[in-house]
Copies of this chain bind each other. A is one copy, B any other.
Amino acid sequence: MPAATGHEVLAAVLQVRADELQVLLWQRGMDPDRGRWALPGGALGADEDVEESVRRQLAEKVDVRGVTHVEQLGVFSAPHRVPGVRLVATAFLGLVPSDVDPAVPPDTAWHPVDRLPATAFDHAEIVEDARERLRAKLSYTNLGFALAPREFTVSALRDLYVAALGHPVSATNLQRVLTRRGVLAATGETAAPGPAGGRPAAVFRFTERALRVTDASAVLRPPGVRDSAGE
């Protein structure tokens, strides 16, 4: 009696390329929406949950080792979001560090989230949700690790934040804030200066490459429990 309901997973995979936040899309070769650009994904398999499914489907488009972070965005379930069939989608956000350039099939390409091509179904809406989720989480988590190479300079990290957030970020502040949160650590090495000279930049690394929420957002925290201010 409940209508036969299919379930698909979709992934908005984001990466900063050429100082712009871009998303991985593939061009549909079949109707409906032939020629329009769609998010990677596909039908949920019988013996997998949605997390396993999205990783499996992504593996068909890119080298999954490049995708350092995957998290659930939400459910998109408008009755006619896909014409003809009843299809509920679980959308995901995926992040790729800026130093890798995974090989992709010929029908697949990166597009700046600011200038999307004609998109299929409700996928533009999903990309917008992914972008906002990224923006919010960059502020109060260490999610930057998923966009950055293993090692980087503060200015390189600053450029990533500028591209992802869409507004200027002070390098001074970025370093101080992240250091105080205890997620940044200097490696002791320095990078070679650019062609115009300049002081060699110190090389940093994220202390952990797993998502951690900053307690700074824990307003109204229990009494007596103060931040350790970076052990």
Contacts and interface: CB of A to CB of B under 8 A. Distances in A.
A222 interface: yes
A86 B217 contact: no
A2 B211 CA distance: 33
A3 B46 contact: yes
Interface in A162-179: 165, 167-170, 173-174, 177
Contacts of A167: 222-223
B220 A138 contact: yes
A79 interface: yes
Interface string A110-142: 000000000000000000000000001011100
A15 interface: no
A121 to B, nearest CB: 14
A214 B217 CA distance: 10
B173 A220 contact: yes
Contact of A219 (B47, B140, B218, B222): B140
Interface in A4-44: 4-7, 43-44
Contacts of A161: 220
Contacts of A153: none
A160 to B, nearest CB: 12
User: Which 10 A-B residue pairs are closest in the complex by CB-CB distance?
Assistant: A3-B46, A167-B222, A2-B43, A49-B77, A50-B77, A139-B219, A5-B7, A75-B90, A217-B217, A49-B78
24 contacts: A2-B6, A2-B7, A2-B46, A5-B6, A5-B44, A7-B77, A44-B88, A46-B79, A46-B86, A47-B79, A50-B75, A77-B90, A88-B88, A139-B218, A139-B219, A139-B221, A140-B140, A165-B220, A168-B223, A173-B220, A174-B220, A177-B219, A216-B219, A217-B217
